[in-house]
């Protein structure tokens, strides 16, 4: 049996009457799960039989915790077959699809859940993520705009900021990010995106300001150190540039190693990231100059711009 | 500094380093720091597959105030008129008439510093004996009895004496006409009873008519609070003040219906009055969804940040650092009193939350 999403279902068929020992089985699996013994709990639920949707749901949960998202999606799908009105299972299936990077399928699944229950902001946030990944910022903006709860406020505003940034409505995006920062002063990602946005319009004042704010929160922040370095380089303040660059090299040497070539560093796959990455390239001459200053060698006159 | 060992530079002479600034949004779906169990509707405990939104941010700690919280001016209302009708719930709200303090700064001279008004009034509160002198310094408009037309007929000293007598007579008349005046004057420095409304007249530089302000006493020293009420959109609108230090220094906001219909449009404005000078209005037009009857209005004042919610959704947000604490209330133009229902204040004090449900009667 193959689900529309392409995953094999668990092969136990639709649940009808639960086996007599299903309750005990479920309880035992939950106990094992609470003890962190996920594999054993999964083994307990993996035998042949005709189980109710709850068992498949728990299997899906265990598989998700083990990082086996494809299997989990199959188990959840089986549960949706036997309990098509169970929104919780459907939302979990959608979440699995999202974790698998199946953005289109996941967005459709989330939209189906929201049609049945439009008050679930957590689902709306995940749908917003999928739409941003699908490069549909208008839809993402519309989706996140419908978030109504206080609990989702910070994240929804942040997502709207990202959508607005993708739409190049930078003024509105900046306001959104500032709102996030007013609600959560430690939202590093908002400041990092503000740095990227400011760099895109080459507003060095803003790059510097947001970089400083970011470094106040996290002195090891790579975007913050990069921002201050490039501002100093652009202004010909090579001493300051060398200091920031040295800190960057100390704090995150892997970043600089991977920037050796133009296709070096990409955002990790497990976080939302736009395909359009703003890059700033420091040429060899500037690098050599910074190296000299860091190592205390005699300095040559620095170029104003690179 | 071991940069050579920690950084590998590209040996090719034409290559440097590339700083990359990806736009990311892991924050959108991240599990909040304050982990909490999933409110599962079914029996199976949820896992991490469905991220949970964070709990609502209630009150962020505000930066430590450098100045003492400024209270409303120590002008004791001469009279407290109690409502004749019993009220269903909440503290008694009363109207009070006070003689406004005529501290009207020169319109041509804008406020010099953002924090100046609060500091100035703080000094006034701290040193009551020098209040008059300070007020004179504070008020750039100098009173002169030496007008050109009168100077040639009446001696200046005589005019001063006659005007002083007139002021005393008017004061006595007011004290006699208003019942309970003696009792009030006996406790002139006592604060207004908490939970009541006091009516004040605020003069705005350049405005033809003064503005009537209803100040909720008991909110003078509160920094963070939430104002909630229901309002039926109308063209006359509803206006409220917050962080008011006196009748010349406060923030204000208002809502006004600009287009009626199934999906009405309203304007949301906010502005500041500093030393009697009204600043620029920030205006936003908001189209509501299908609304029948009342609109739920809520405004959170949280440190320097202010958020306006309409029907539960954030509608406007702004920051302003000029006033850190102060009273809240409502205002009306041309003597109109705002019509609203389900009025509720929530004060976020250090000791805890205090919710007040009251009316504007």
- The 10s digit of each residue's pLDDT in A7-45 is 544 433 334 344 446 777 888 888 888 888 888 888 888
Q: Is residue A41 part of a domain?
A: yes
- Within 8 A of B17 by CB-CB distance, chain A residues are 256, 259-260, 281-282, 287
Mean of pLDDT values over B128-150: 35
Please tell me which residue of chain B has the smallest CA distance to A140. Answer: B28
Decide if A37 is inside a domain: yes
Spatial CA neighbour of B308 closest among A159, A173, A181, A179? A179
**Mean confidence (pLDDT) of chain A:** 82
Mean pLDDT across A260-281: 55
CATH number for the domain harbouring residue A63? 1.25.40.10
pLDDT for res B128: 36
Does the pLDDT value for residue A115 go beyond 60? yes
Q: How many residues does chain A have?
A: 306
* Residues of the domain holding A257: 199-263+274-306
Q: Using an 8 Å CB-CB cutoff, list chain B residues near A295.
A: 1, 3-4
Note whether A64 contacts B49, CB cutoff 8 Å: yes
Q: Which residue, of A100, A128, A143, is where some domain finishes?
A: A100
The alpha carbon of A249 is separated from its chain's Cα centroid by a whole number of angstroms, namely 25
Residue A269 lies in a domain: no
Residue B25 to residue A159, Cβ atoms within 8 A: yes
Q: What per-residue confidence (pLDDT) applies to A149?
A: 85
Of A17, A6, A2, A7, the closest CA to residue A82 belongs to: A17
- Residue A17 domain-assigned (yes or no): yes
Assigned domain for A81 exists: yes
Q: How confident is the model at residue B6 (pLDDT cuts 50, 70, 90)?
A: very low
Q: Is residue A105 part of a domain?
A: no
Structural domains of chain B in order of their starting residue, each with its CATH number: 1-34+48-361 (2.60.120.200)
Looking at the DSSP bridge assignments, the partners of residue A273 are: B24
By C-alpha distance, the chain A residue nearest B2 is A250
Does ipTM exceed 0.95?
A: no
pLDDT of residue A223: 94
pLDDT in tens, B184-240: 333 333 344 456 788 887 777 777 777 888 888 878 888 888 999 989 888 889 999
Phi–psi pair at A196, nearest 5 degrees = -60, -40
Nearest to A291 among B3, B14, B23 (CB): B3
Condensed to tens digits (0 to 9), the pLDDT of residues A132-143 reads 999 999 999 999
**d(CA A145, nearest CA chain B) in Å:** 9
* H or E element at residue A21: none
Q: Is the pLDDT of residue A158 over 90?
A: yes
> Residue B344: what are its φ and ψ, rounded to 5°?
-145, 135
Q: Average pLDDT of A173-195?
A: 95
Q: What is the per-residue pLDDT for A298? A: 52
Rounded to whole angstroms, how far apart are CA atoms A131 and A165?
Answer: 14
The alpha-carbon gap from A43 to the nearest alpha carbon of chain B, in Å, equals 17
Strand partners, B270: B253, B282
Mean pLDDT of A227-240: 92
Q: In angstroms, what CA-CA distances link B109 with A111, A253, B106?
A: 57, 55, 5
Contact B358, B216 (CB under 8 A): yes
Q: Is residue A280 part of a domain?
A: yes
Q: Do B57 and A253 touch (CB under 8 A)?
A: no
Domain end call among A100, A116, A146: A100
Position B247 confidence tier, pLDDT thresholds 50, 70, 90: confident
Q: How far is B266 from chain A (nearest CA, A)?
A: 19
- Tell me the C-alpha distance between A121 and B96, whole Å: 46
Query: Does residue A253 lie within any of the structural domains?
Result: yes
Number of neighbouring beta carbons within 10 Å of residue B111:
18
Of residues B219 and A58, the one with the higher pLDDT is A58
Q: Which of A66, A100, A134 is the last residue of a domain?
A: A100
Task: State the pLDDT confidence band at A209, using cuts at 50, 70 and 90.
Answer: very high
The pLDDT of residue B81 is above 70: no
Q: How far is A2 from chain B (nearest CA, A)?
A: 22
C-alpha distances (whole Å) from A178 to each of A57, A166, A183, A193, A277 are 40, 17, 9, 11, 21
All residues at 6 or more sequence positions from B112 whose CB lies less than 8 Å from its CB, including other chains: none
Decide if pLDDT at A120 tops 60: yes
- How many Cα atoms within 13 Å fall on the side-chain side of residue B264? 21
Domains of chain A: total: 2
With CB atoms and an 8 Å threshold, state whether A265 touches B50. Answer: no
pLDDT at A164: 95
Dist CA B213 CA A40 (whole Å): 69
pLDDT of residue A83: 83
Hey, of A27, A71, A183, A208, which one would you mutate to test binding to chain B, going by the most B CBs within 10 A of its CB? A183
Residue A131 pLDDT: 96
Q: Which of A151, A149, A189, A157 has the alpha carbon at shortest distance from A173?
A: A157
More confident residue, B78 or B19: B19
Q: Is the pLDDT assigned to residue A97 strictly greater than 80?
A: yes
Among the partner-chain residues A148, A286, A294, the one whose CB lies closest to the CB of B3 is A294
């Amino acid at each position: 049996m193959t689900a529309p999403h392409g995953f094999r279902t668990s092969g136990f068929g639709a649940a009808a009457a639960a086996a007599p020992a299903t309750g005990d089985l479920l309880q035992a699996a939950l106990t094992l799960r609470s003890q962190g013994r996920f594999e054993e709990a999964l083994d307990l639920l993996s035998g042949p039989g005709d189980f109710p949707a709850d068992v498949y749901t728990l299997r899906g949960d265990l598989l998700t915790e083990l990082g086996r998202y494809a299997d989990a999606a199959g188990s959840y799908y089986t549960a949706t077959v036997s309990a098509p009105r169970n929104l919780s299972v459907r939302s979990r299936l959608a979440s699995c699809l999202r974790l698998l990077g199946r953005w289109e399928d996941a967005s459709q699944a989330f939209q189906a859940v929201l049609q049945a229950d439009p008050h679930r902001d957590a689902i709306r946030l995940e749908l917003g993520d999928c739409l941003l990944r699908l490069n549909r910022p208008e839809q993402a903006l519309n989706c996140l705009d419908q978030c109504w709860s206080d609990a989702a406020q910070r994240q929804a505003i942040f997502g709207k900021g990202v959508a607005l940034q993708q739409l190049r409505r930078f003024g509105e995006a900046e306001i959104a990010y500032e709102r996030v920062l007013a609600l959560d002063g430690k939202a590093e990602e908002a400041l990092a995106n503000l740095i990227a946005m400011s760099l895109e319009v080459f507003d060095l004042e803003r790059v510097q300001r947001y970089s400083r704010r970011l470094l106040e929160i996290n002195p090891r922040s790579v975007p913050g150190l990069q921002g201050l370095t490039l501002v100093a380089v652009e202004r010909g303040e090579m001493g300051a540039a060398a200091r920031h660059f040295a800190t960057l090299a100390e704090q995150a040497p892997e970043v600089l190693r991977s920037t050796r070539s133009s296709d070096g560093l990409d955002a990790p796959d497990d976080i939302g990231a736009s395909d359009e990455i703003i890059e700033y390239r420091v040429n060899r001459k500037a690098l050599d100059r910074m190296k000299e200053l860091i190592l205390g060698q005699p300095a040559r006159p620095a170029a104003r711009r690179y | 500094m071991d940069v050579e060992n920690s950084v590998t530079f590209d040996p090719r002479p034409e290559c440097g380093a590339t700083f990359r600034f990806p736009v990311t949004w892991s924050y959108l779906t991240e599990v909040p720091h304050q982990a909490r169990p999933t409110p599962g509707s079914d029996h199976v405990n949820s896992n991490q597959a469905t991220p949970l939104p964070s709990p609502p941010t209630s009150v962020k700690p505000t930066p430590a105030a450098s100045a003492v919280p400024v209270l409303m001016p120590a002008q004791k209302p001469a009279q407290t008129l109690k409502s004749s009708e019993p009220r269903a719930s909440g503290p008694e709200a009363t109207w009070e008439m006070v003689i406004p303090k005529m501290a009207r700064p020169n319109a041509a001279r804008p406020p010099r510093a953002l924090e100046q008004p609060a500091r100035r009034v703080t000094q006034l509160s701290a040193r009551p004996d020098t209040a008059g002198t300070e007020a004179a310094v504070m008020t750039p408009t100098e009173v002169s009895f030496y007008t050109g037309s009168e100077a040639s007929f009446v001696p200046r000293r005589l005019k001063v004496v006659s005007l002083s007598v007139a002021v005393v007579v008017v004061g006595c008349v007011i004290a006699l006409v208003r019942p309970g005046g003696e009792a009030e004057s006996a406790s002139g420095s006592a604060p207004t009873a908490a939970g009541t409304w006091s009516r004040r007249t605020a003069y705005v530089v350049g405005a033809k008519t003064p503005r009537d302000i209803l100040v909720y006493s008991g909110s003078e020293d509160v920094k963070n609070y939430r104002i909630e009420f229901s309002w039926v959109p109308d063209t006359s609108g509803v206006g409220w003040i917050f962080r008011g230090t006196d009748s010349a220094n406060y923030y204000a906001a208002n809502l006004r219906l600009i287009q009626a219909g199934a999906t009405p449009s309203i304007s949301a404005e906010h502005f500041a009055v500093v030393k009697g000078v009204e600043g620029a209005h920030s205006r936003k037009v908001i189209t509501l969804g299908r609304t029948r009857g009342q609109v739920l209005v809520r405004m959170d004042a949280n440190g320097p940040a202010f958020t306006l919610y309409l029907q539960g959704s954030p509608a406007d947000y702004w920051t302003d650092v000029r006033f850190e604490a102060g009273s809240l209330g409502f205002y009306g133009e041309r003597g109109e009193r705002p019509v609203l229902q389900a009025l509720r204040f929530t004060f976020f004090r250090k000791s805890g939350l205090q919710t007040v449900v009251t009316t504007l009667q």
